[in-house]
Amino acid sequence: MAKGQTKFDGGADPRLVAAGYHQRTKHHYDRYANSPGHMDWGTQPEPFRRFIGAEMIQLRFPESDQTPSYDLLYEPSAIEPQPVNIDSLSAFYFYSMALSAWKQYGASSWALRVNPSSGNLHPTEGYLLLGALEGIAAAPGLYHYAPKEHGLEHRARFTDRSWSQLMSGWPANVFFVALSTIFWRESWKYGERAYRYCQHDTGHALAALRLAAALLGWRLVVINDLPDTQLEKLLGLDRDDAQREHEQESPQLLAAVVPYHDLVKHGAIDILDAADDGQWFGAANQLSPDHRAWQAIDVVQQACRRQSNWQLTTDFTAGIGQAISYEPCPYSAGSIIRQRRSALDMDGQTPVTQHRFYAMLSRVVPGLCPVPWDAVAWPICTHLGLFVHRVTDLTAGLYVLVRDPSQLDALRGALRSEFVWQKPPGCPEALPFYLLAAGDCQGLAARISCHQHLAGAGAFSLGMLANFDDALSRYGAPMYRYLFWETGVIGQVLYLEAEAAGLRSTGIGCFFDDAVHEILGITDTSFQSLYHFSVGGPVEDRRLTNLPAYRNSVNVTPAS
Ligand SMILES: Cc1cc2nc3c(=O)[nH]c(=O)nc-3n(C[C@H](O)[C@H](O)[C@H](O)COP(=O)(O)O)c2cc1C
């Protein structure tokens, strides 16, 4: 694909459509991507999908926090696998996609969730495909996860024959989880750029599911070789009772969850009969009374669908090297996961120690950390450009973390030639982390992040740099989605790592794309910054009241 392509044409090569959408939805200092420019409160989408008429199976709330220590999440063989039953499935969702709190300000209240979402708009929906299981159903079926109730809506019953076909080649006790996205939830506020945010949110939710699986001693792996039409069919999203006009719910990913430590090989998935033989229940609720169409999203989502001939394989194995250890985290995995929040601002003071900083970074290097990277069944393409503001004994400045060292030369070739590429003294050998240029970047980091103070006032902030042209030209237009998913997975790990370090973080979707590239000396689209992030000491908004997520749930003790 030609560098710097800006063509935006629904009839073109899908890779050009994706690249064109990307160009078109960049924010610039003097011009933001097309959006409504104001909040139309009359059409604000309902945050909770429900299938009216479908039976709701109430999941359970843990009676106490029985989850293992936070650090064990990253050691796949350290946690005894739990049997798959209603208690473990309840925990799986409680620690991945459930509500985490209600917030109240004056007469308004809104729910927060375990998985974060751009603007708290939550476009991501979760599904479960499960065999017959006591306490849930006597027959295999498809369920939609309802976070407000912490329940499973029974969306379809499948025949035993269909289920055997679905799970053939997989270990007994396998179940499947799926994610979909509703673009309208995000485009209502963010307009054309919303497609990107929906993809980030999918990545966050995927990581949340992988980490909740780890907490139960389970493995989770994404199944890539499933065309979107088939996943759509399996989830019933092509049915009239699932789709509301202008509120398209699009399939994102399917993953197998296996309650064993053993490495799972991908089995083929043959789904055609399952949906046709299924008995379906319920109809999707309407989210808004009226809508504004965003044609750019319709076009890019069409271009980036996985077609039947799309293949993506990776021979990458996560966690071969040694993660950098830090003093053990004294908190449970469950408390860290459920206390995760976005900082509304950073205090401009709190530092992080150098050693802790390196340990945090090592958890986003797939070669050093098995979880959640063993779920990511696609090639690693993203690196971090870091603005170090307050890391003890580390010179402030611009740094880079090369998450896949085999791409070091490509990245180096794309960045400013005058960068020094020095390994800081004290940086562990295993960590591919380099100083590019020393200096105070606080003002710069805030400026390029749409003037958001929190990007300059944390201990560090960063931009996630995708090997963009190469990924699209090698793996095709669907890879555009996977690049954003990868950044969401990185974000989710950093969110948790910040909590474990007594800090807080915030995902930053609003940044001036090419201003970031200019700092780094990127003059083409070889590498593109897709997502920003800030980690530091938070400033609380004391006007907000915290309320429990569920009236009947145990109050999981926060770590700080
Ligand atoms: C993809 C993404 C982009 C985000 N962008 C911003 C941003 O630019 N500025 C900001 O202050 N918060 C941003 N956030 C934080 C969200 O507003 C926050 O996740 C949401 O309000 C839910 O709150 P919680 O994270 O505390 O659950 C972003 C979050 C995500 C996942």
Q: Is 446 helix (H, G, I), strand (E, B) or coil?
A: helix
Q: How far apart are CA 136 and CA 210, in angstroms?
A: 22
pLDDT at 464: 98
Q: Is 337 helix (H, G, I), strand (E, B) or coil?
A: helix
162 lines ligand 1 (CB under 6 A): no
Tokens 């055997």 locate to 164
Give the DSSP per-residue string, 236-304.
TTTSTTT--TT--EEEEEEEEEESSSSPPPPPP---HHHHHH-EE--EEPP--SS----HHHHHHHHHT
Instruction: Mention every residue, 6+ apart, whose C-beta is less than 8 A from residue 119.
Output: 186, 189, 190, 197
197 lines ligand 1 (CB under 6 A): yes
356 lines ligand 1 (CB under 6 A): no
342 lines ligand 1 (CB under 6 A): yes
Is the distance from CB of 57 to CB of 151 less than 8 angstroms?
Answer: yes
Is the distance from CB of 508 to CB of 534 less than 8 angstroms?
Answer: yes
534 lines ligand 1 (CB under 6 A): no
pLDDT at 254: 95
- CA–centroid distance, residue 487 to ligand 1 (Å): 14
**What values do phi and psi take at 119, rounded to 5?**
65, 10
Three-state SS string across 198-234, please?
A: HHHHHHHHHHHHHHHHHHCCCEEEEECCCCHHHHHHH
Q: How far apart are CA 191 and CA 280, in angstroms?
A: 33
Minimum-distance ligand 1 atom for the alpha carbon of 450: 8
Q: How many CB atoms lie within 10 A of CB 348?
A: 16
| Dihedral sign for Cα atoms in the order 472, 477, 478, 483 | positive
Residue % of the chain over a pLDDT of 90 = 85
**What values do phi and psi take at 461, rounded to 5?**
-135, 170
**The tokens of 339 are what?**
């206390």
Q: Which parts of the chain register pLDDT below 70? A: 1-11, 261-268, 270-272, 552-560
Q: How far apart are CA 108 and CA 545, in angstroms?
A: 10
506 lines ligand 1 (CB under 6 A): yes
- CA–centroid distance, residue 461 to ligand 1 (Å): 14
- CA–centroid distance, residue 33 to ligand 1 (Å): 18
Helix axes 194-215, 478-500, angle to 10 degrees: 50
Half-sphere exposure of 484 (CA within 13 A, CB side): 22
Q: How many CB atoms lie within 10 A of CB 264?
A: 17
pLDDT at 172: 84
In testing the pocket of ligand 1, which one of 117, 494, 541 has its CB within 8 Å of the most ligand atoms? 117
- CA–centroid distance, residue 199 to ligand 1 (Å): 14
pLDDT at 8: 39
Q: Give the residue from 469, 370, 461 showing the smallest Cα distance to 410.
A: 469
Is the distance from CB of 248 to CB of 258 less than 8 angstroms?
Answer: no
Helix locations, 56-182, DSSP H? 86-94, 160-167
Q: Give the residue from 230, 279, 224 showing the smallest Cα distance to 253.
A: 224
Q: How many residues does the chain have?
A: 560
Q: How far apart are CA 128 and CA 186, in angstroms?
A: 23
90 lines ligand 1 (CB under 6 A): no
| pTM value > 0.75 | yes
Q: How far apart are CA 32 and CA 40, in angstroms?
A: 18
- CA–centroid distance, residue 122 to ligand 1 (Å): 10
Helix, strand, coil percentages, rounded to 5, for the chain = 30, 20, 45
- Amino acid at the residue 36: P
Q: How many CB atoms lie within 10 A of CB 108?
A: 8
Q: Going edge to edge, which strands form the sheet with 382-388?
A: 433-438, 397-401, 382-388, 460-466, 528-536, 504-508
